[in-house]
Amino acid sequence: MCEQNLLLITRLKSCSYYYIGVLKKYLSRTPQWLFMYVFGRFSSIQIMMLNYYQRQRTAKVYEEKDSVFSHLNTDEVVKSLIADGLYLGIHLPDSWVREICEFAERNNCYGDGNLRLSFAYQERLAAQSSYGQSFRLGKYYNASLLCPAIEKLARDPKLLNIAAKYLKVESVHAGSWLWWSFPPTAAIYESTAAIGQVFHHDLEDYRCLRFYFYLSDTTLANGPHVCIRGSHRQKKLAYLLSLWRLRSEQDVIDYYGTSRIVTICGPAGFGFVEDPFCVHKGLPPTKGDRLILAIHFSINDYGVLGDRDDSLLLNSSQLTSK
C-alpha cells in the first residue's frame, strides 16, 4: 500500500510539474514563437516560411577541410534527412569523447535539471540519499560555453553545411545539451513524459535538426534513442491539431507500423542527426547510465533552447573549470 501511495504521489507531482512547466513555457515565449508553434506544424506554413527566410538569408558554404568529421559526406547526410528525417553513423573521434567526458567528471550536474540539486556524477547515490529523492537525469548547464570541445563542435564546418543544406537558409546554433540518463526506480518509472522518454515530436521551428553523440557505450540496457523513420513528413491530422505532443507506444505502432521504428545503439562516439519533428523518444536505461550530447540548429533562435543559465556563470568555480 505504501509503495502504491508513493507511486501515486510521484505521478501527481510529475504531472503537475509537467503541466505547470508547459504553461509557463507558453506564457513566456515571444509572439514569433507562438505563431510558429501554432501554425508551424502544417507543411503549407513550413514551405511558406522557408521561402520567406530564403529571400532574407543566403546560406553560407563553409570550407570543410578543418572538420572533425573527415569521413562525412554532407550531401549523403542531407539526402537521408530529407527522405527519413534521420542519418546514422557520424563518428566523434575518441580524443573528443575523452575531453567531453573529462568535463562531465570535473563539473557538477543537476538532478532532473533542478538548480537546487547539484551533485558530482561520481557521487550520485550519496546525493540522492542526501536530497531524499532519485534522479532520472543529471543535466549540465553552460557546457556549451565552458567545454571547448562542445563549443567547437557547434562551429564544425561540416555540421554547419549539413544544417544549411537541410534548412535551405543560413542556420543558427540554438543550443546544446549534455546530460546523463539514469535507470529509474520503480516509483518514478512511469513519470517519464517530462524528460522525453515517451514518444513525441518537437516543434522548435519551421525546420530544424539536432545532432546527437553518445559519450558512453549505449546498448538496449543503457537507454538508446528511438526514432520513427520518415515521420517528419507524415503525421495524423489529430497529431497536428493537438497541442499534446505525447503519443502512446500502441498508437505509434498502429499508425506507423513496427518496421519504421529505429532503435539506435552504438559505442561511445557514435553519432546521428535527426529532424526533431520526427516522432521519437529516449528509452529509460535499465542497467547502466548514459551520457549524451545534443547540438541543435534551426532557422531562428527564439532564446528558449540550450543549457545556458547566467546565474551559474557567477559561480567562480564553474568559470575556472574550463
Q: Is the per-residue pLDDT at 146 higher than 90?
A: yes
Q: What is the mean pLDDT of residues 103-121?
A: 96
For residue 186, name the pLDDT band (cuts at 50, 70, 90): low
Q: What is the mean pLDDT of residues 123-128?
A: 96
For residue 5, name the pLDDT band (cuts at 50, 70, 90): very low
Distances in Å between the Cα of 96 and the Cα atoms of 39, 70, 128, 176, 234 are 39, 14, 30, 16, 36
**What pLDDT does 294 receive?**
98
Q: What is the mean pLDDT of residues 12-16?
A: 45
Q: What is the mean pLDDT of residues 232-256?
A: 90
Q: What is the mean pLDDT of residues 252-273?
A: 97
Q: What is the mean pLDDT of residues 55-62?
A: 89
**What pLDDT does 24 receive?**
59
Q: Which of 62-71's residues contact partners 24+ apart within 8 Å by CB, and which partners?
A: 62/157, 62/158, 62/160, 62/161, 63/157, 64/157, 64/158, 64/161, 66/157, 67/156, 67/157, 67/158, 67/159, 68/92, 68/93, 68/96, 68/152, 68/153, 68/156, 68/158, 69/156, 69/158, 69/159
Provide the 10 A C-beta neighbour count for residue 78: 21
C-alpha cell at 114: 533542478
∠ CA 162-79-75, nearest 5°, is: 50
Q: Is the per-residue pLDDT at 229 higher than 90?
A: yes
C-alpha 260, offset from chain centre: 20
**What pLDDT does 18 receive?**
45
For residue 318, name the pLDDT band (cuts at 50, 70, 90): low
C-alpha cell at 265: 545503439
Query: For cell 505563431, what's the residue?
Result: 35
Report the percentage of the chain scoring pLDDT > 90. Answer: 73
Whether this model's pTM surpasses 0.85? yes
**Domains of the chain in sequence order:** 2-320 (2.60.120.620)
Q: For the chain, what is the largest distance between any 2 Cα atoms, rounded to a whole number of angstroms?
A: 63
Mind listing the pLDDT tens digit for each residue in 73-111?
A: 999 999 999 999 999 999 999 999 999 999 999 999 999
Segment (H or E) for 27: helix 2-28
* pLDDT higher at 74 or 189: 74
- How does the average pLDDT of the chain come out, rounded? 87
C-alpha 176, offset from chain centre: 8
* pLDDT higher at 5 or 249: 249
190, with CB counted inside 10 A (0-12, 13-18, 19+), is middle
- What would you report as the CA-atom Rg of the chain, rounded to the nearest whole angstrom? 19
For residue 315, name the pLDDT band (cuts at 50, 70, 90): low
Cα(135)–Cα(9) distance, rounded to whole angstroms? 16
